[in-house]
Structure 1
Amino acid sequence: MLLSDENGEQTWEVRRTSSGTYTIRQGSSGPFVGYEGDPDGIQPVRLLPDRREWEITDGPRPGTLTVAAPGSDGPLTLGLYPARIYPPMVALSPTFAEDQDLRERRLGVLWRSATGDTAGDV
């Protein structure tokens, strides 16, 4: 899964499950944000056909969110893939210093709830 360029936008649907976790999918009918296998160490995050559940909590600063694999030790959160490559990729990983750049940069991602409410740019 790649970050959008500075001028691009991506729309994602975030839907709460009955267990209190969330699924994230591209648009309202696209693939789901996920990873292969069990959450363990550094793993690329991909768009996959099967749904994967996530924990979403308030982030470290006002107006930010933390997205983590439920039940992971650590926790393992969405952040930058640690390899410095272009275009930058998203990974499931412990928090690294490089993630600070991801949090502070406006990504052009529009979070939209399943009811259609806009949660704002991230």
Structure 2
Amino acid sequence: MGALPDGVYHIKLDDQQFLTIGEEGAVTVLPAQDVGQKFEVRRASGDNYAISKPSSIWPSPFVCYDGAPAAPYEGTRVRLRVSDFPPCEWKITAGSRPGTFTIVVAGDGQPLTIGIAPIPIFPPFLQLTSSSGKDLGWTFEEAK
């Protein structure tokens, strides 16, 4: 699978749950809805990407993790962060199933992916998790 082209996407987990901008900048997954489910994906540096809310204002809201740019750790929450430049970069690599991708924190540390927190709340929140082979993979569908 080649590199993901820059564009605006619906990012889906297991083709059922859409990456969604929730209240107070939370990033979650929910079934399809009319707002908050489009994300701009752009090449940032090297093979890394920035993921942001499509916006014509500057600074822009980027998908990031709490505490960035400090080293991430497992269990860190994923949320939107407004910045003049991408505060977090991600590697988007081929996933475990055909047509899917894994979204991994860019860097030299332990590979941490975006996944659903194992806490029974609704809507679920997303956190960084270690690659465990249980990742169902994200799909990127061009938004219209």
Shorter-chain TM-score category?
0.7 to 0.9
State how far apart, in whole Å, the 2-side matches of 1:42 and 1:95 are.
12
State how far apart, in whole Å, the 1-side matches of 2:122 and 2:132 are.
18
State how far apart, in whole Å, the 1-side matches of 2:73 and 2:81 are.
18
Asked if residue 62 in structure 1 is aligned to residue 98 in structure 2, the reply is yes
Long gaps (5+) in structure 1: 112-117
Which position in structure 2 is the counterpart of 1:34?
Answer: 64
State how far apart, in whole Å, the 1-side matches of 2:112 and 2:45 are.
22
State how far apart, in whole Å, the 1-side matches of 2:133 and 2:121 are.
16
Which position in structure 2 is the counterpart of 1:93?
Answer: 129
1:84–1:92 distance in 2 versus 1, CA, 3 Å: same
RMSD: 2.5
CA-to-aligned-CA distance 1:65-101 (integer Å, 9 cap, x gap): 100011254410001012121111111111468754x
Which position in structure 2 is the counterpart of 1:71?
Answer: 107
TM-score (norm 2): 0.62
1:110 is displaced (CA, Å) by 5.8
State how far apart, in whole Å, the 1-side matches of 2:105 and 2:32 are.
29
SS at match of 2:122: coil
State how far apart, in whole Å, the 2-side matches of 1:16 and 1:85 are.
33
- Between the two proteins, the alignment pairs up a number of residues equal to 106
SS at match of 2:80: strand
1:46–1:76 distance in 2 versus 1, CA, 3 Å: same
Which position in structure 1 is the counterpart of 2:50?
Answer: 23
SS at match of 1:3: strand
TM-score (norm 1): 0.72
Whether contact under 8 Å (1:79, 1:95) holds in the other structure is no
State how far apart, in whole Å, the 2-side matches of 1:33 and 1:23 are.
8
Q: Mapping of 1:110-121 within 5 angstroms? A: 111=141, 118=142
1:18 is displaced (CA, Å) by 3.0
- What is the aligned-residue identity percentage? 38
